Amino acid sequence: VQLVESGGGLVQAGGSLRLSCEASGIIVAEYGIGWFRQAPGKEREGVSYISLRDGITHYADSVQGRFTVSADTAENAVYLQLNSLKPEDTAVYYCPAEFPFVPSKVWAHPTEYDYWGQGTQVTVSS
């Protein structure tokens, strides 16, 4: 299993980025896929979650209305659109996967996921 995050970069506050999570060795439509982030000195934080088999998405309160998760089964990839970015969104972003899904009440718990990528850095300047 390989999960490769990309699309991070340096952006000014108020800007946008689109993160990609390309999967190999799994079929994203059969897994629960999360988006997490970790800032220096802070714990890993659940940002969003998608399960295509259940038609479910979740968002952290801190990103609700600004971030949007989606998936493309043809590309076997999951995406996270980041809009209205703030300096506090600065972190390394990861897209972990778990078969076949993560229960809704624990989607933001990093220990629920077995497979992790290397992450992509997002830096938002003020």
Mean pLDDT of 82-96: 98
Query: For the segment 2-16, what is each residue's pLDDT rounded down to a tens digit?
Result: 999 999 999 999 999
- pLDDT given for residue 20 in this prediction: 98
Q: Mean of the pLDDT values across residues 85-102?
A: 97
Looking at residue 77, its pLDDT comes to 98
Closest to 119 measured CA to CA, from 62, 17, 38 = 38
**Phi, psi for 32 (deg, rounded to 5):** -85, 130
Confidence of residue 88 (pLDDT cuts 50, 70, 90): very high
Residue 103's CB: how many other CB atoms inside 10 A? 10
Residue closest to 114 by CA, chosen among 93, 92, 94, 99: 99
pLDDT tens column, 95-122: 999 999 999 999 999 999 999 999 999 9
What would the mean pLDDT of 54-71 be, rounded to a whole number? 97
Please give, one letter per residue, the 3-state secondary structure of 20-76: EEEEECCCHHHCEEEEEEECCCCCCEEEEEEECCCCEEEECCCCCCCEEEEEECCCC
Read off the amino acid at residue 62: S
Nearest to 82 by CA among 44, 110, 121: 121
